[in-house]
């Protein structure tokens, strides 16, 4: 293998390039990215970078000389098409680059709110450093801030915006897609305690204003004054390149357990990949640093001839208002939960069980529980309810 070409210089594309070098791959590694500057990580964008406590240096995944040292070629530009017959990609500027193996690490784009007024000035989304810069500047003069979407991004933005905001969520609780009701309630109390207003079960029907947003119209007809609106209503995988190249696409680029697409010379990793997830028991697309980093490593292993099925345990974290939530495993479909620790004191864990087996553990301000959960899953991917019950639901005692 001579040239591995990676499209997308984000968390997972960067991870593929570095993992290849870590594994001793001595061919060309070419990383093509359409964002300006060096590869960077996104989590601080809605946390310290937004609050002004983290700068460019904290965002950067590695300094500039790292890429020269590792012989990773960084090419700025957007890949416009993949020519599978010719084994090359073509950039928007018309230049072509050949590959022996291609990795799609194209990430995702923020969903646009499908209502009138969604492109008015003063309406923002948050995915890139450029967007964070604009948002940070806009926050300085904003009076009435409305967050549409009570998921991770919206809540982290609210937590780090430095002023009271109004959070509008269509579901009947915060983080409903990814957290249990116990954790949702804890974070709702935290946000209310910080002075934020939370409106649950309310959709947004329009954003109003002449050129610039001045009001958010809710599904019940009520109006909220707003001069800054942050829309955090999820993402869509960036799959256009794959689709146009004739690869299988369904809620992401479809890959097998080795992260290979329907063309064995092309892999896909990170937010854009829909993979057979062992823990979920179904094809899944995950949006997390863990998934991006671990899939990058697994794809590099395939390319360097050491393929192993991708089975890494999903885990995730979010920081809001001094509280750290860490999640290990996949909670979807769980029918039973057990709370351990001090719920009133805001230091607790929720164990979720699916079909009598531990499926996921959420830990709020309990990092040792999170570590114990990951160790437990490593020792036994399917710990049974009865086993945990016999140990008083003590995760550490169960794997020790």
For residues 320 and 325, give the distance between their C-alpha atoms in angstroms, rounded to a whole number: 8
Q: Does 5 bind ligand FAD (CB under 6 A)?
A: no
The three-point CA angle 150-154-159 to 5° equals: 105
Residues of span 294-333 touching ligand FAD by CB under 6 A: 316-318
Residues of span 129-188 touching ligand FAD by CB under 6 A: 153
| Smallest distance from ligand FAD to CB 240, Å | 8
CB neighbours of residue 193 within 10 Å: 9
| Smallest distance from ligand FAD to CB 159, Å | 11
Q: Sign of the C-alpha dihedral, residues 120, 175, 181, 356?
A: positive
For residues 1 and 399, give the distance between their C-alpha atoms in angstroms, rounded to a whole number: 42
Among 105, 233, 328, 364, binds ligand FAD (CB under 6 A): 105
- Supply the DSSP string of 34-80, one letter for each residue: SSSSS-B-SGGGGTHHHHTSS-HHHHBSS-HHHHHHTTEEEEES-EE
Q: Does 127 bind ligand FAD (CB under 6 A)?
A: yes
> Nearest residue by C-beta to ligand FAD?
10
Which stretch in 4-12, 298-306, 322-330, 383-391 sits in contact with ligand FAD by CB under 6 A? 4-12
Q: Does 106 bind ligand FAD (CB under 6 A)?
A: yes
Closest C-alpha to 340, from 276, 299, 297, 388: 388
How many chain residues touch ligand FAD (CB under 6 A)? 37
| Smallest distance from ligand FAD to CB 44, Å | 8
Among 46, 144, 239, 326, binds ligand FAD (CB under 6 A): 46
Q: Sign of the C-alpha dihedral, residues 37, 271, 314, 344?
A: positive
| Smallest distance from ligand FAD to CB 34, Å | 4
Contact 108, 235 (CB under 8 A): yes
Instruction: Give residue 68's region: left, alpha or beta (phi > 0; psi -120 to 50).
Output: alpha
Q: Does 289 bind ligand FAD (CB under 6 A)?
A: yes
Among 169, 217, 227, 287, binds ligand FAD (CB under 6 A): 287
For residues 261 and 276, give the distance between their C-alpha atoms in angstroms, rounded to a whole number: 12
Closest C-alpha to 239, from 271, 266, 208, 197: 271
The smaller minimum CB distance to ligand FAD, of residues 127 and 202, is found at: 127
The smaller minimum CB distance to ligand FAD, of residues 161 and 272, is found at: 272
Q: Does 292 bind ligand FAD (CB under 6 A)?
A: yes
The residue ranges that bind ligand FAD (CB under 6 A) are: 7-13, 32-35, 42-43, 45-46, 78-79, 105-108, 126-127, 153, 238, 241, 270-272, 287-290, 292, 316-318
């Amino acid at each position: 293998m001579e040239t591995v070409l990676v499209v997308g210089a984000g968390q997972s594309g960067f991870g593929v390039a570095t993992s290849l070098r870590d594994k001793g791959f001595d061919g060309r590694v070419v990383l093509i990215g359409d964002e300006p500057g060096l590869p960077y990580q996104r989590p601080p964008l809605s946390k310290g970078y937004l609050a002004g406590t983290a700068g460019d240096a904290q965002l950067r995944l590695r300094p500039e000389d790292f890429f020269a040292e590792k012989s990773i070629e960084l090419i700025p530009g957007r890949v416009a098409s993949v020519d599978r017959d010719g084994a090359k990609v073509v950039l928007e500027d018309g230049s072509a680059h050949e590959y022996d193996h291609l990795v799609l690490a194209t990430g995702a784009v923020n969903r646009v709110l499908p209502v009138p007024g969604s492109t008015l000035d003063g309406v923002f989304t948050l995915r890139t450093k450029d967007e964070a810069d604009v948002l940070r500047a806009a926050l300085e003069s904003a009076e009435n801030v409305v967050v549409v979407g009570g998921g991770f991004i919206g809540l982290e933005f609210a937590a780090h915006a430095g002023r009271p905001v109004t959070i509008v969520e269509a579901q009947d609780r915060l983080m409903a897609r990814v957290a249990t009701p116990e954790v949702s309630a804890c974070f709702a109390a935290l946000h209310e305690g910080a002075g934020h207003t939370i409106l649950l079960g309310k959709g947004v029907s329009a954003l109003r204003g002449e050129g610039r947003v001045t009001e958010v119209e809710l599904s019940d007809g009520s109006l909220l004054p707003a001069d800054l609106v942050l829309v955090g209503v999820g993402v869509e995988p960036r799959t256009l390149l794959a689709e146009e190249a004739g690869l299988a696409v369904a809620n992401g680029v479809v890959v097998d357990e080795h992260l290979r697409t329907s063309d064995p010379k092309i892999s896909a990793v990170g937010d854009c990949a829909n993979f057979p997830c062992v823990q979920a028991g179904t094809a899944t697309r995950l949006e997390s640093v863990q998934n991006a980093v671990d899939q990058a490593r697994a794809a590099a292993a395939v390319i360097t001839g050491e393929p192993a099925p991708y089975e890494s345990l999903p885990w995730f974290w979010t920081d809001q208002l001094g509280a750290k939530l860490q999640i290990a495993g996949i909670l979807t479909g769980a029918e039973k939960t057990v709370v351990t620790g001090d719920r009133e004191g805001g230091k607790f864990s929720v164990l979720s069980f699916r079909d009598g087996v531990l499926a996921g553990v959420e830990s709020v301000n309990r990092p040792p529980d999170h570590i114990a959960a990951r160790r437990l899953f490593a020792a036994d991917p399917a710990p049974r309810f009865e086993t945990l019950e016999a140990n008083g639901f003590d995760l550490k005692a169960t794997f020790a």
